[in-house]
Structure 1
Amino acid sequence: MAEEEPLYYMRPGHVIAAATVLSAIDIFVVGLRFWARKVMKQPLRADDWLMLPATLLTVGIGICQLYGVSQKALGYRTVIPDGFQGNPFELVTPQLRLKSQLEWTFFLMLPIATGCMKASFLFFYIRVFATQERSAINKFLKAFIVFIVVWAVAFFFGMFFECGRNFWAIWNSQVEFRAHCSSNTKLILALCITDFIADVFIICIPIPLVLRLQLSPRKKLGVCSLFLLGSGTVIASIVRFVLMAGSYLGSVNITNDSILGTTACLYWGMVECGIGMLAACLPTIQFLFRKWIWEPVLLSTKSIFSSQSTQATRISWADGSHQASIHVQQTFRVSYDQVHDSSSRSISPNNLPNVSNERLVRESYPMQDKCVRTVA
């Protein structure tokens, strides 16, 4: 019986692409965030500094994925040694041992990485919306930050001691792991559920605050859309929760291979962290895009259309050739008699008499010597 083709997020190419691309994007946007603060002459605060550990941990998750794929401990099917006739769950190979070590390391980094991102969001809300120290929204956001810190630390130590002091069981056979780490399933499901709920709350917090601002409906929609970009993390956390809950509870069986199942978990965890980093930095770095990309393009477009609507002065060269020249137009008043004067002297604004019957005359001053001046 032929084996089914694994889903795309279990394949080595997609795992490598997610790890490298998202890590590079996150490093880039965090660098832009610090640069934006410098350009805007704003002080660096907790919402900015929290991006540094979040970036390091997100890149660390990507490195775990790349190393696992390089050693065929992620993205590949489990290799059964030739002649093995026992229970597959009692099998211990270097491939399975490394898979278990990478999975344990991933669940240690995930709550701290997502916790730093969630706290960064909340500190940014304090910077923008909670201008008064004793306001209700300020107290609520600070209480939420305390909850996120406790949440991240609790799950970190919970994952660290998921097998008590029997650390050897973490990278042993499935039978030994289940015997000494019975609370692992409940702990992971609790992490997925609380992570999802916290993301939903954090994304929804700024919407009523933005709607209360004195802005036009179009600007309110734009600001809310910017904050709602973080919903990508919610989608990724939902997918990861469904896959892991279905795998543990048996309702969704994406694969019978433990290595491919772990690959799917790490893939969506990387997607969640990568998108979360981008969403956390976008409200800050959008200033740079508006200043150096959107505004120059808009000004250039206006300049093109305004130059087309302006009537250009016609220049004729004495030798009949056509050559580009830069000329300045000035409008001034001269007397009617001076316009019909037969003298060949040039008209300039410095030698105009004050007489009646004046009219406006335009003269062109080219940057070339061969230009024949025409007074109209």
Structure 2
Amino acid sequence: MAYHRKLALVDDRTGLIVMASLFCLIQLLVITLRIYARRLRRMRYGTDDWLAIIAVVFVLGLNGVFLAGTIQGAITGHSQVVDDWPVTSPLEHLAQKYKYAFQTTEKITFGLIKLSILFLWKRMISPIRWFQVSCWVMIGVVIAWMIAFFFATVFQCYTQWAWNWAPISFFLTQCTNTLDMLTVFTATDIVTDVIIITMPVPIIWQLHLPTIKKVGLTGLFMMGLFTIGAGIARMYIYLVTSYDKEDNPDFIADFTLFMLWSAIEVNVGMIVCSMPVCAPVVSKFRDCIVIRLGSKGSSHLSHQRGKGSKEYLTDRSENPYFGDKTSSYEMGAYRTTIASREPMDEINVEGPLETRSGIVVRTRISNTFE
């Protein structure tokens, strides 16, 4: 099976060091915003939050492995190639060690991120029984997937631990068929991501929300497509470098490409995992900017309303995320009462409750993402 495609090499060591360092800072920022969002909405930490916190520790560990390997030259280095095959060298020995550490840790990391997203879906869309069952099924699949590939990687050379960083020719002949194992791993990683990311989409389009709101929520969930794209790129690179050694004999250069896209995928996945939870923080920041920019014209607006207008609007700027009172809007012969925002984190798909005096807004998804 030969693809006959020589891949471009990655030699910018400084650029990769900067990238890995930025990834570490971004992950710390994202998890901090997630914790702040829970405190902002006065919500207890759920299983999804604890899994995300554990996952970010593993993500930082992966970034650390990538950063250390780049600094020491194991990443962005090159193998000594003789007769279209890499020759054993101290650098190759070092690269094998980093590869084993990275590939072992990434199995747990990917699994934790997927589980965090599934438990988030489960908590948000709690009233729908079939969706809850689907979440539990996928949780079981992901746990089995994570454990199976973790132990398969740990014991890929049985209990001969030194074989894991032996010369590449010895490793490929004496250990298990790691090429096929990693092919199955990358393929199933993409499949599970597609299923998990698209699970809430049918629910969103059943909600009693404006179409523009549905499109926005769908777009938020579909941010996971960036993770899927990185996974596809990683799988393509792995297939080319693993099954076309004639055109890609530089083991260390191939290993660099594979780890690079794995690092991108896991960091983007961690960001996507926390984005729905961090939405209230973004909304509060947006509201603060709007309030500051509109403060100059607020007095003029109040003066206009005082000239006989029958529209009475309740100011929600003091506490845009919590409240114990309802806001009333009197416009002509109709009166609409909007229920106060509560610290909730689930989707109510029952839709609006119609009454003769107006409509009581009950769609809870807006409280989660606004």
Shorter chain as normaliser: what TM range? Answer: 0.7 to 0.9
Alignment match, 1:372: none
Alignment match, 1:236: 230
Name which of 135, 138, 144 aligns with 1:144: 138
Q: Which whole-Å CA distance do the structure 2 matches of 1:49 and 1:33 have between them?
A: 11
Q: Which whole-Å CA distance do the structure 2 matches of 1:289 and 1:235 have between them?
A: 25
* Conserved 8 A contact 2:34-2:274: yes
**Aligned: 1:259 with 2:252:** yes
Q: CA deviation at 1:229?
A: 1.0
Matched to 2:250, the amino acid is D
Alignment match, 2:75: 74
* Conserved 8 A contact 2:10-2:253: no
**Aligned: 1:214 with 2:215:** no
Matched to 1:34, the amino acid is I
Alignment match, 2:345: none
**Aligned: 1:127 with 2:120:** no
* Conserved 8 A contact 1:77-1:260: yes
Greater mean alpha carbon deviation, residues 166-175 or residues 103-112: 166-175
Change (3 A) 1:183 1:60: same
Query: Alpha-carbon deviations, 1:29-85, whole Å to 9, x = none?
Result: 1111111111101111110001122111111111111111221111122357xxxx8
Q: CA deviation at 1:213?
A: 1.1
3-state secondary structure, aligned to 1:165: coil
**Aligned: 1:299 with 2:300:** no
Alignment match, 1:180: 174
3-state secondary structure, aligned to 1:191: helix
* Conserved 8 A contact 1:243-1:252: no
Which has more radius of gyration?
1
* Conserved 8 A contact 2:224-2:269: yes
**Aligned: 1:285 with 2:286:** no
RMSD, aligned α-carbons: 2.6
Change (3 A) 1:189 1:39: same
Change (3 A) 1:10 1:144: farther
**Aligned: 1:118 with 2:114:** yes
Q: CA deviation at 1:16?
A: 1.4
Higher relative contact order (CA 8 A, sep 6+): 2
Name which of 88, 97, 109 aligns with 2:105: 109
Q: Which whole-Å CA distance do the structure 2 matches of 1:165 and 1:207 have between them?
A: 45
Q: Which whole-Å CA distance do the structure 1 matches of 2:218 and 2:10 have between them?
A: 31
Q: Which whole-Å CA distance do the structure 2 matches of 1:86 and 1:242 have between them?
A: 25
Greater mean alpha carbon deviation, residues 69-78 or residues 138-147: 69-78
Q: Which whole-Å CA distance do the structure 2 matches of 1:245 and 1:166 have between them?
A: 26
What TM-score, normalized to structure 2? 0.76
Matched to 1:302, the amino acid is G
Change (3 A) 1:52 1:308: same
Change (3 A) 1:208 1:6: closer
Alignment match, 2:349: none
Q: Which whole-Å CA distance do the structure 1 matches of 2:26 and 2:180 have between them?
A: 33
Q: CA deviation at 1:130?
A: 2.2
Q: Which whole-Å CA distance do the structure 1 matches of 2:74 and 2:90 have between them?
A: 8
Query: Alpha-carbon deviations, 1:333-363, whole Å to 9, x = none?
Result: xxxxxxxxxxxxxxxxxxxxxxxxxxxxxxx
Q: Which whole-Å CA distance do the structure 2 matches of 1:47 and 1:160 have between them?
A: 27
Gaps of 5+ in 1: 313-329, 332-376
Structure 1 residues 325-344: aligned runs within 5 Å: none
Alignment match, 1:31: 32
What TM-score, normalized to structure 1? 0.74
Q: Which whole-Å CA distance do the structure 2 matches of 1:86 and 1:227 have between them?
A: 49
Alignment match, 2:191: 197
Kindly tell me the number of residue pairs found equivalent between the two proteins.
Answer: 301
Q: CA deviation at 1:307?
A: 5.0
Q: Which whole-Å CA distance do the structure 2 matches of 1:301 and 1:70 have between them?
A: 46
